[in-house]
């Protein structure tokens, strides 16, 4: 139970801080959230700066071009960048955090050489094509079909909840390469393909969320030809290929968000003090309780990171406990924000109001809380398979 | 005792539902919402500039159907019914997510009918006189809802002809133009409810006019307090309608949406979400209806608390049942949630309702039957 | 939507009040809760007084010796007796509210003549033998067997959660008269018997609850002979016979408890005022919210009673909505009581502390909240059958 | 940073668990609980008259295992470990529902070792000197916990030799006899924790003796506040142990209990109850452990809040999973709930913890890593 940093870790933190102090003031202004090309340029520019300073692929293995940093170093990196107000990973999210690691783990040498360096340099942007309208919680129900035709697959179907699709170069795509039969379980027959987003037959349609913005898109695929060489892993083995990365987590998935929670909470307290609501003990105690919850999220993160460091990786199920609590606290935080704002919580021009809308997705995205509880019950607690 | 709806009440409710479905079908709701600049909560301005404007044609039809004149005496051209019937009508409006300052116009119609200076409320010309017929759109400014800096949010100000101003004790009517001159449009979280921020210090009556308070402190105080209570109850009725509707929506989705080879409504987790939603809605119904009968301030506070809770939490649970689909702009779930948030901020806050009920515990009981 | 009383109802209420004012002061002192014979005597004495005054079997049909009162009259009766502090139905609960109505509905003329009058007069006490250690939520899993031997059934097995078993004359018993086979669903093969509690082979063992008291008992049956003539309804039709009564409800099941909730809440408010905790807005607002909840329980009761009156009876599923809310509010009420008491909530000698323990059963007894939600989801909302 | 348990910490925890299982197995717990007059919460008196008395033999064994001397320097005959190790030991005690004034005796052992008048705490003879060895039983009287009328509840007073009195700012030791003379036995809701009500106005030191406060306000204040914080944290550790245990108990029952032809743990409603219990327990674990490392008052307040909540709510959910069985005296579930209630009332209330954390939001952040 040691929460202090080693000398190496302190050193890493201080060098990072010094670098951030130097470069952040020189960054260009943040782009308009609705201007996708500008966002891409901004995010990729930041990634290039990280790359040039030696911070790109911090948590990737050295063989893949990464820095092979420990989970604690990665934690420090995410903590410090968030606290310094550095840009978020943004458009590089899928490349750095999922597609890249998948290619690093399962790709051929040629595939690694082709796709990994541009991700680290911020030259190419990836998006994710997993979910489908009829395959949400039940991802294995995906129907997008890929039929072999010579050296290509011909792919038809549609994907949903794809971020940055408008500006991505590549899409990590899950497709069905063998039909589901009584003998073929649904998790077989799925393959992982790297789809070039400029291929003929790819249509991207922005998907407007309840927050009024179009952070996601639908991707329609109409007989799109994808070279067989773009398949990572064996044919029909795509489920395993994907889950290797999805289920491997080092406890760092939400570091920035947890730091942000604390910042929002302190800001809420200041606002409440300014507008007089701080004098209401009901609200004040509610904020106090949220402070305990935010502390807990941070400590849980440190716990998971330490366990990952000790054991070489936290199975994804460990993250379910964290995510259940995190989603709940995050939503309660914005409910408290509404309480602080009073009637002004109806003014979407006020801070937190749109964030509150966005936070409604927390108990749904990346595995609903219901699915997470199933995972905890069955895989951690060992209860019999339900349903 | 027979708490059930009478045959006439059932007929009224069915009529109102039919009216809403015919005149304000889903397509029309979506037109209001989607027209709104394409921006929604996070987009440009929108409020007060046409987007979300009250549909005068629909307003007149509501007037023709007696929605605003429901409680006016038949002699005064009204329908001659009471608060229970008004609650049923407002429940249906809430169910349909009908936008507009329904409660304020309904109350203003009541004031107009009695005519100035009866009940001590001066009438600002024809505006309020037309409220009963749906010719006038009347919104409300509740000075008790003043937040930090004393500003108040007013819905549909740009569409309104007149504003019912509820002061500390007195109430009055001012023209929308007057109030609007100092108002600032706000980017409303609810795309169907434009909001303006009006600075503090607005008086129920313009200088030189008489407000109800000047008739004598007792009557004046009573008038504003009564109007606020009735508005709170009618708003609670809309929350109830929304809460009932989101149960139905969630159940319909749960029956149709298939995941893991079966309708998700066969999963206990989803079943139990839906069951809890129904419990909230039916609980709210019982107190809203009872408050309409008794008009007791404690009963109304209970109705406000439970109806607000039912509308907000049911909308959230409905969203959860819908999963990703519920997070889209296309689904109607978010419209219920946003409207429920708007309504929950109006007339009586949860804190005020709880304090009122707590105070009621100190006066000796006997609240039963 | 009429909440006022008719002239008849007012008249009924006033006569009842006058009678209660007259007789209650003359009642003997309440017996020690641990003295079962004294409790029986007290409860039966009260029932005899009700009988003699014309209030026995108020809600029973006239053909069964009852008064054929409307649900509203029954509501008024329960409300007024609770508010006047009159004795609770106690030992006569099963006879008046379940076994009696079952016999009235399904028994032969002879059975009705034998068993109903002593229930109404307070001469005979019934208890209920439904639940078994392995058949709780899943009542149809009951295993107590009855084998036909001449004019008798020979019954062996055990029952649990039986109140007043120590002093009951009769037990309404569900037994399995045909084994479960692939062709015989579990709900068939069950029969309803009236078991004389003094029959050889019946053993009663008190069951101590977490509240420290023995309000319930286990009943062990070792080759007990029960005459076939004691069977109500056809052989193997006992499930239906039982459910007819269980599922028929006039909304009045919890009237006394709802009245009591309000009384407890007002008493909490007075105590909080006296000990200073009323000045804490967190507590005060919590009590305010509970006031809304208590109001709602009363209005829901009036709603259900009115619906029962209008339609001739509320199906049991309507009661599930009420019971879910009621159980929750009742538990929250006692949590609030603990908040009012502060550290004194640890003193079992203080009012409400033992009630708080007892309230823990509300979400379990007579159908857990989980089962109730299933009923609401499947039978009211029409969701597909789960599990 | 390595928040994981060290090998030594793992070994300590395993050793403590083994000790508890060997020396305080379930049969012994049940003997304590069932001996208690057959009355339980609702029965006669019980408290302080033998029922629920501290088992001196067990107490000495705990002493021999270093439970009370865990944090004393080795030079002083202690184990030389820190608060994190103490928290692990107390977690195991909470898991086993070990009764007795564990935190008070542990803290008194620390005071005794430094010897009067070092740290400004006078020692009342041999009583506290034997605390480290488990020869003395020391309970605590926290005057800050005074309720209406100023009275305080004290656990295990009849079994105790000495009482650690925490005053407003100062702390001291008084004999149990002294304190007991004005105390009145209370019918404790927890059959394994006898309680006495002690009237207000007890001072940390008897007249003529010196309490820590007299050494100078700063040091004195610090001492009492530090003791209270450590006690709160050690009690939170017990709550954590109980919360973890009730998850395991619920899961074990859910796997075995068959209804509707399958283990009830296959029903999503039960699965999700159990999953939520685990989330509460693991969340509490992370803050309790972290607070043991940082000893920060805000961290301790968070630990108190989340551990109390985890213990109480997990016990209730465990009871729900057990159904009727959980409502019986024979099941252990109620013992966890009742003890959790007792512990939640000790040292720092939820209200105080929330206010402390709220105040912490005003001092600028930087609470991370």
pLDDT of res. B368: 45
Predicted confidence (pLDDT) per residue in C131-151, tens digit: 999 998 899 999 999 999 999
% pLDDT > 70, chain A: 98
Residue at a domain's end among A106, A121, A136:
A121
Q: What is the mean pLDDT of residues B265-272?
A: 96
Residues 63-122 of D with CB under 8 A from A: 84
pLDDT surpassing 50 at residue B103? yes
pLDDT surpassing 80 at residue C69? yes
Predicted confidence (pLDDT) per residue in D34-50, tens digit: 886 544 444 433 333 45
pLDDT surpassing 60 at residue B366? no
Q: What is the mean pLDDT of residues D117-124?
A: 41
Predicted confidence (pLDDT) per residue in D277-317, tens digit: 999 999 999 999 999 999 999 999 999 999 999 999 999 99
pLDDT of res. A312: 76
pLDDT of res. D75: 87
Please state the separation of Cα D15 from the chain's center in Å: 19
What's C71's domain CATH number? 1.10.540.10
Q: What is the mean pLDDT of residues C173-177?
A: 97
Q: Work out the pLDDT band at B36, boundaries 50, 70, 90.
A: low
Task: Mark yes or no for CB contact A370/B258 under 8 Å.
Answer: no
Instruction: Please answer whether residues C129 and C159 qualify as being in contact, where contact means their C-beta atoms are separated by less than 8 angstroms.
Output: yes
pLDDT of res. D46: 38
- Flag the least confident range among B265-274, C63-72, C134-143, D104-113: D104-113
Could you tell me if C266 and C226 lie in one domain? no
Chain B, nearest residue to A272 by Cα: B148
Q: Work out the pLDDT band at A90, boundaries 50, 70, 90.
A: very high
Query: Is the pLDDT higher at C313 or at C56?
Result: C56
Question: Is the residue at A206 inside a domain?
Answer: yes
Q: b/e map of B12-28 (b: 16 or more CB within 10 Å)?
A: bbeebbebbeebbeeee
pLDDT of res. A298: 96
- Compute the nearest-CA separation of B312 from chain D (Å): 23
pLDDT surpassing 50 at residue D118? no
Could you tell me if C141 and C261 lie in one domain? no
Could you tell me if A39 and A66 lie in one domain? yes
Residues 142-161 of A with CB under 8 A from B: 160-161
pLDDT surpassing 50 at residue C193? yes
Could you tell me if C94 and C34 lie in one domain? yes
Task: Mark yes or no for CB contact A357/B260 under 8 Å.
Answer: no
pLDDT of res. D150: 79
Q: What is the mean pLDDT of residues B68-72?
A: 94
Total domain count for chain C? 3
> What letter does residue C237 receive in the DSSP assignment?
B
pLDDT of res. B363: 78
pLDDT of res. C168: 98
What is the DSSP pairing of strand D162-166 with strand D138-142? parallel
% pLDDT > 90, chain D: 73
- Compute the nearest-CA separation of D302 from chain B (Å): 26
Could you tell me if C131 and C185 lie in one domain? yes
Predicted confidence (pLDDT) per residue in D153-196, tens digit: 999 999 999 999 998 878 888 899 999 999 999 999 999 999 99
Could you tell me if A280 and A181 lie in one domain? no
Query: Best-predicted range by mean pLDDT among A41-50, A250-259, B42-51, B166-175?
Result: A41-50
Q: Which of C138, C327, C337, C348 to mutate to test the interface with D (most CBs of D within 10 A)?
A: C348
pLDDT of res. A182: 83
Residue at a domain's end among C175, C206, C235:
C235
Could you tell me if A115 and A222 lie in one domain? no
Upper half-sphere CA count for residue B182 (Cβ side, 13 Å): 11
| Cβ-based contacts of A160 with chain B (< 8 Å) | 324
Q: What is the mean pLDDT of residues A290-310?
A: 94
Question: Is the residue at C387 inside a domain?
Answer: no
Q: Work out the pLDDT band at D237, boundaries 50, 70, 90.
A: very high
pLDDT of res. D251: 98
Predicted confidence (pLDDT) per residue in A344-357, tens digit: 999 999 999 999 99
Residue C348 lies in domain: 249-380
All domains in chain B, ordered by first residue: 7-220 (1.10.540.10), 224-368 (1.20.140.10)
What's C369's domain CATH number? 1.20.140.10
pLDDT surpassing 60 at residue B210? no
Instruction: Please answer whether residues C315 and C247 qualify as being in contact, where contact means their C-beta atoms are separated by less than 8 angstroms.
Output: yes
Distance between the two ends of chain C, CA-based, in angstroms?
A: 39
Q: Which of C135, C210, C340 to mutate to test the interface with D (most CBs of D within 10 A)?
A: C210
pTM: predicted TM-score of the whole model, two decimal places: 0.94
Query: Is the pLDDT higher at D205 or at D217?
Result: D205
pLDDT of res. D211: 52
- Compute the nearest-CA separation of D40 from chain C (Å): 4
> What letter does residue C277 receive in the DSSP assignment?
G
**∠C258-C264-C265 over CA atoms, to 5°?**
95
Task: Mark yes or no for CB contact C384/B255 under 8 Å.
Answer: yes
Provide the token pair at A277: 């609501």
Q: Work out the pLDDT band at D206, boundaries 50, 70, 90.
A: low
Q: Work out the pLDDT band at C299, boundaries 50, 70, 90.
A: very high
φ, ψ of residue D171 to 5 degrees: the values are -130, 155
As a whole number of angstroms, the distance between CA B326 and CA A361 comes to 9
pLDDT surpassing 70 at residue C363? yes
pLDDT of res. B248: 98
| Cβ-based contacts of B268 with chain D (< 8 Å) | 267-269
In this complex, the residue of B267, B278, B358 whose CB is nearest that of residue C381 is B278
What is the DSSP pairing of strand B184-186 with strand B195-198? antiparallel
As a whole number of angstroms, the distance between CA D292 and CA D233 comes to 7
Could you tell me if A267 and A305 lie in one domain? yes
For residue B163, give the H/E element and its range: strand B162-166
Instruction: Please answer whether residues D13 and D88 qualify as being in contact, where contact means their C-beta atoms are separated by less than 8 angstroms.
Output: yes
Provide the token pair at D38: 């057959």
Provide the token pair at C109: 């003329």
- Compute the nearest-CA separation of B68 from chain A (Å): 26
| Cβ-based contacts of B33 with chain A (< 8 Å) | none
As a whole number of angstroms, the distance between CA B201 and CA B182 comes to 11
Per-chain mean pLDDT for chain C: 94
Q: What is the mean pLDDT of residues A27-44?
A: 95
pLDDT of res. D210: 53
pLDDT surpassing 70 at residue B209? no
pLDDT of res. B207: 59
- Flag the least confident range among A18-27, C171-180, C223-232, D209-218: D209-218
Could you tell me if A113 and A146 lie in one domain? no
| Cβ-based contacts of A285 with chain C (< 8 Å) | 282
Chain A, nearest residue to C282 by Cα: A282
User: Residue A225 to residues A152, A178, A191, A201: CA-CA distances in angstroms?
Assistant: 6, 17, 15, 8
Question: Is the residue at C1 inside a domain?
Answer: no
Predicted confidence (pLDDT) per residue in B211-261, tens digit: 544 333 333 556 889 999 999 999 999 999 999 999 999 999 999 999 999
Task: Mark yes or no for CB contact A281/C282 under 8 Å.
Answer: yes
pLDDT surpassing 80 at residue B47? no
Predicted confidence (pLDDT) per residue in A164-223, tens digit: 999 999 999 999 999 888 887 888 899 999 999 999 999 999 999 999 989 999 999 999
pLDDT of res. C317: 65
As a whole number of angstroms, the distance between CA C385 and CA C370 comes to 14
Q: Work out the pLDDT band at A310, boundaries 50, 70, 90.
A: confident
Could you tell me if C360 and C283 lie in one domain? yes
What's A168's domain CATH number? 2.40.110.10
Just list the catalytic residues of A: 249
Question: Is the residue at A374 inside a domain?
Answer: yes
Question: Is the residue at C33 inside a domain?
Answer: yes
Could you tell me if C52 and C149 lie in one domain? no
Q: What is the mean pLDDT of residues C331-354?
A: 96
Residues 251-270 of B with CB under 8 A from D: 267-269
User: Residue length, chain C?
Assistant: 387
pLDDT of res. C313: 67
Residue at a domain's end among C100, C121, C142:
C121
Task: Mark yes or no for CB contact B195/A347 under 8 Å.
Answer: yes
Question: Is the residue at A371 inside a domain?
Answer: yes
Chain B, nearest residue to A363 by Cα: B320
| Cβ-based contacts of A72 with chain D (< 8 Å) | 1-2
In this complex, the residue of B147, B270, B319 whose CB is nearest that of residue A360 is B319
pLDDT of res. C246: 73
Could you tell me if A19 and A142 lie in one domain? no
pLDDT of res. C117: 98
User: Residue B137 to residues B54, B109, B164, B239, C223: CA-CA distances in angstroms?
Assistant: 8, 10, 10, 21, 80
Question: Is the residue at C57 inside a domain?
Answer: yes
Predicted confidence (pLDDT) per residue in A99-146, tens digit: 999 999 999 999 999 999 999 999 999 999 999 999 988 999 999 999
Q: What is the mean pLDDT of residues D249-253?
A: 98
pLDDT of res. B218: 33
Per-chain mean pLDDT for chain A: 94
| Cβ-based contacts of D267 with chain B (< 8 Å) | 268
pLDDT surpassing 80 at residue D74? yes
Question: Is the residue at C317 inside a domain?
Answer: yes
């Amino acid at each position: 139970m040691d929460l202090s940093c080693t000398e190496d870790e302190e050193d890493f933190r201080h060098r990072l801080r010094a670098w951030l102090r130097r470069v952040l003031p020189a960054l260009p202004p943040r782009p308009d959230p609705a201007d996708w090309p500008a966002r891409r340029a901004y995010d990729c520019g930041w990634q290039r700066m990280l790359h040039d300073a030696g911070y790109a692929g911090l948590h990737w293995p050295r063989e893949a071009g990464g820095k092979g940093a420990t989970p604690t170093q990665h934690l420090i990196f995410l903590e410090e960048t968030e606290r310094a107000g550095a840009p978020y990973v943004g458009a590089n999210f899928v490349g750095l955090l999922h597609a890249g690691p998948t290619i690093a783990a399962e790709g051929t040498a040629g595939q690694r050489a082709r796709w990994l360096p541009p991700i680290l340099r911020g030259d190419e942007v990836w998006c994710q094509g997993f979910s489908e309208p009829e395959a949400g919680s039940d991802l294995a129900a995906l129907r997008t079909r890929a039929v072999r035709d010579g050296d290509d697959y011909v792919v038809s179907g549609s994907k949903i909840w794809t971020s940055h699709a408008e500006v991505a170069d590549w899409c990590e795509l899950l497709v069905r390469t063998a039909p589901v039969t009584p003998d073929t379980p649904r998790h077989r027959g799925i393959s992982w393909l790297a789809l070039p987003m400029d291929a003929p037959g790819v249509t991207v349609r922005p998907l407007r969320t309840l927050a009024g913005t179009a952070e996601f898109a639908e991707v329609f695929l109409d007989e799109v030809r994808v070279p067989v060489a773009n398949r990572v892993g064996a044919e029909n083995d795509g489920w395993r290929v994907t889950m290797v990365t999805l289920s491997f987590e080092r406890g760092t998935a939400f570091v920035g968000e947890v730091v942000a929670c604390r910042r929002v909470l302190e800001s809420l307290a200041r606002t409440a003090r300014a507008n007089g609501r701080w004098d209401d003990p009901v609200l004040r105690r509610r904020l106090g309780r949220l402070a305990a919850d935010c502390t807990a999220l941070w400590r849980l993160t440190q716990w998971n990171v330490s366990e990952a460091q000790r054991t070489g990786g936290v199975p994804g199920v460990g993250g379910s406990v964290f995510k259940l609590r995190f989603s709940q606290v995050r939503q309660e935080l914005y409910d408290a924000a509404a309480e602080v704002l009073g009637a002004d919580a109806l003014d979407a021009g006020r801070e937190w109001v749109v964030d509150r809308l966005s936070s409604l997705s927390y108990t749904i995205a990346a595995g609903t809380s219901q699915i997470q509880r199933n995972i905890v019950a069955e895989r951690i607690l060992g209860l019999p398979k339900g349903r | 005792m027979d708490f059930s709806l009478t045959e006439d009440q059932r007929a009224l409710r069915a009529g109102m539902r039919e009216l809403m479905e015919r005149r304000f079908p889903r397509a029309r709701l979506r037109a209001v919402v989607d027209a709104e600049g394409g921006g929604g909560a996070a987009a440009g301005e929108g409020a007060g500039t046409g987007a979300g404007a009250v549909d005068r044609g629909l307003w007149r039809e509501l007037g023709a159907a007696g929605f605003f004149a429901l409680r006016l005496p038949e002699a005064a051209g009204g329908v001659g019914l009471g608060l229970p019937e008004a609650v049923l009508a407002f429940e249906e409006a809430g169910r349909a997510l009908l936008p507009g300052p329904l409660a304020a116009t309904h109350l203003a119609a009541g004031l107009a009918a009695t005519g100035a200076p009866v009940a001590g409320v001066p009438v600002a010309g024809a505006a309020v006189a037309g409220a009963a017929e749906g010719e006038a759109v009347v919104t409300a400014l509740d000075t008790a809802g003043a937040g930090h800096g004393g500003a108040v949010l007013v819905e549909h100000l740009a569409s309104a002809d007149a504003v019912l101003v509820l002061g500390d004790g007195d109430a009055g009517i001012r023209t929308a133009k007057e109030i609007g001159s100092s108002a600032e449009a706000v980017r409303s979280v609810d795309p169907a409810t434009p909001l303006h921020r009006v600075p503090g210090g607005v008086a129920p009556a313009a200088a030189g006019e008489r407000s109800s308070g000047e008739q004598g402190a007792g009557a004046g105080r009573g008038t504003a307090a009564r109007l606020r209570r009735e508005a709170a109850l009618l708003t609670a009725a809309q929350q109830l309608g929304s809460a009932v509707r989101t149960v139905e929506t969630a159940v319909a989705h749960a029956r149709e949406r298939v995941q893991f080879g079966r309708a998700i409504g066969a999963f206990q987790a989803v079943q139990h979400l839906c069951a809890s939603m129904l419990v909230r809605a039916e609980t709210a119904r019982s107190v809203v209806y009872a408050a309409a009968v008794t008009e007791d301030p404690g009963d109304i506070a209970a109705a406000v608390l439970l109806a607000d809770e039912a509308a907000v939490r049911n909308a959230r649970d409905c969203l959860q049942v819908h999963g990703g689909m519920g997070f889209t702009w296309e689904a109607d779930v978010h419209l219920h949630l946003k409207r429920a948030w708007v309504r929950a901020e109006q007339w009586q806050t949860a804190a005020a309702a709880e304090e009122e009920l707590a105070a009621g515990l100190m006066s000796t009981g006997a609240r039963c039957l």
